[in-house]
Structure 1
Amino acid sequence: MPFATTKDHVQLYYEEAGDGTPLLLLHEFAADYASFEPQMRYFARGHRCITYSARGYTPSHVPDNDADYDYQHMRDDAIAILDHLRIAAAHFVGSSMGAYSALQVALSVPSRVLSLTLSGIGSGFEAERLDDYRARCRAEADEFERGGASEITKLAGLTPARIPFLVKDPRGFRDFHDALGEHDANGSARTMRNFQGARPPLSAFADAISALTLPTLIMVGDEDDACIEPSLFLKRRIASSGLAMFPKSGHALNLEEPALFNATLEKFLALAEAGRWGPRDPRSVRE
């Protein structure tokens, strides 16, 4: 099994397929490397696609200490994958937790990022809801430790933003739900407590986000209530960004709407690679 080693000696399992410009896929909290299979199969036809399981998600290593799960570790893990594979820069495609990490790489070392795709990003964004969001994350982490995999699927698998997936594609949702039930409860608890529940909100990086010039695609489902406002926040601040809102859709867009996700991403990558995804024309901004 292929593994990359991080600076703090965590082993990260990864898979790759295809040749061409690198495409790095970063999964969400309720998923792992395998959740990007619809994208690996499609984009490997023209790109070198890499997906990996974050720390705490088997077959990657599950560190024992809470301090090993903060957002800086998750950011640096993505860079470690590139370093291990000797990739200078890649297109970053992140979902939710993975989108946050992709954005952090772009803010920290933009030279490693060819473009940014941010799907379902920003839960816990609103300042007035942040404390409640963090408290809920801590409570869910405790439940994961007490109840194991069954609590993970109950609390993380049936959130309101996942109901559209269940409604439109019960068979696909069942596969997602079954895979979630295989997660390591301790790894999920530490990730929920220290990454999800402790990371700074996007608003803490407002100035740095406004300075980004990378081609950026933001995708959000119109029934993913927690991520609509943060997606608009990013759209308003990143001059080189575009926003795609998927109708009647929830959180896990790459699984819930794989054909639309792939088509939207494919067009974006083609324009970005051609140098045709530039900043917004100032004349289009309403004063």
Structure 2
Amino acid sequence: MHEFGADHREWEAQVQWFGREYRCIAFAARGYPPSDVPEDERLYGQDFAAADIGAVMRHCGVERAHLVGCSMGSFASLLFALRNPGRASALVLAGVGSGSTRSAAAREEFRRTCAARGDALTRDGWDGAHAEETGHGPTRIQLKKKNPRGWAEYMARLRTRSGLGTGMTMRRYQGMRDSIFDWEQDLRALQVPTLLAVGDEDTPCLEANLFLKQTLPNCGLWVAPRTGHAINLEEPAAFNEAVASFLSTVERGRWSLG
């Protein structure tokens, strides 16, 4: 499950690697072609994002799966696991938690920012300043510094995204979703083996990841140094190795040592 600023194509390095041993399914979220782009804003939000995971699994004949997400994809994966006991055999949550805070004032400011950005994307689309602002943001500039060619490919894909679909997603999903901190009671009961993956320069997500590490009972935290938000693009080899080691340990029944 991909992040807001990506689509299913950003998982290619993972699909090629893990496809050697696993059946890998990457899909474009609603609002991201070739998936449908609903024009009704009421058809966007966290409930749809979580339910869409189940819909894809049903369509592909998958009852239970390891779920791997990045950012909004991680949020949807975690919500799906909470709402569908037994359907997730493991969770890899990369860059989860932006916008989640204990401060009501900070949360309201985040929502206002998402609403304004969503309106701008719906109006202007991505072929212009919005793409440049995103690609040069403080949690994404790391990719350009490490891998200029990879960053250029990412930017080329970014400019093709639906302004309507991502604008609605920004307003209705990103801006109006719960704070992860609100789920504390349910999270403490979630036994699914979980790997948190976060870059140490992904500042908006650090507090939430520490909270999840302290709250989820069957959880590990992997931090990639000098890395921003798109951890699977910035450090694909390290990310793949960490995820492969985690899944192997889970499948051998050695993740939970209690």
Task: State the TM-score bracket (shorter-chain normalisation).
Answer: over 0.9
- Counterpart residue identity of residue 139, structure 1: A
Mapped pair 1:206 → 2:184: yes
- Cα displacement string for residues 170-220 of structure 1 (whole angstroms, at most 9, x for unaligned residues): 111111111010000000100000000000110111110111111000000
Is structure 2 residue 58 aligned with structure 1 residue 83? Answer: yes
**SS of residue matched to 1:111:** coil
Question: Aligned residue pairs: how many?
Answer: 255
Letter of the 1:81 partner, please give it. V
1:248 alignment counterpart: 226
Look up the equivalent residue of 1:235 and give its one-letter code. Answer: K
- AA in 1 matched with 2:58: D
Q: Is the 8 A contact 1:120 1:251 kept in 2?
A: yes
Residue 251 of structure 1: how far off its partner (Å): 0.3
Q: How big is the shift at 1:156? A: 3.0
Q: Aligned residue for 1:132?
A: 109
Q: Could you tell me whether the CA contact under 8 Å between 2:100 and 2:178 is conserved in 1?
A: no
Asked whether the equivalents of residues 193 and 218 of structure 2 are also in contact (C-alpha less than 8 Å), the reply is: yes
- Where do 4+ consecutive residues of structure 1 move more than 3 Å? none
Which residues in structure 2 correspond to 1:52-131 (within 5 Å)? 52-128=27-103, 129-131=106-108
SS at match of 1:227: helix
Distance in 1, matches of 2:202 and 2:129, equals 22
Of all paired residues, the percent bearing the same amino acid is 39
Structure 1: 5+ residue stretches without partners: 1-25, 282-287
The RMSD of aligned alpha carbons is: 1.0
Amino acid at match of 2:19: A
From the two aligned structures, give the one with the greater strand fraction. Answer: 1
Where relative contact order (Cα < 8 A, 6+ residues apart) is larger, the structure is 2
Name stretches of at least 5 consecutive residues in structure 2 with no aligned partner: none
CA contact (8 A) 2:193 2:255 kept: yes
> Counterparts of 1:60 and 1:251 in 2: how far apart (Å)?
24
> Residues of 2 paired with 1:86 and 1:137: CA distance?
35
- Counterpart position of 1:15: none
* Paired letter, 2:199: G
In the other structure, the counterpart of 1:9 is none
- Partner of 1:117, secondary structure, is strand
CA distance in structure 2 between the partners assigned to 1:166 and 1:265 by the alignment: 24
Cα distance in 1 between the residues matched to 2:169 and 2:159 = 16
Q: Which has the larger displacement, 150-159 or 32-41?
A: 150-159
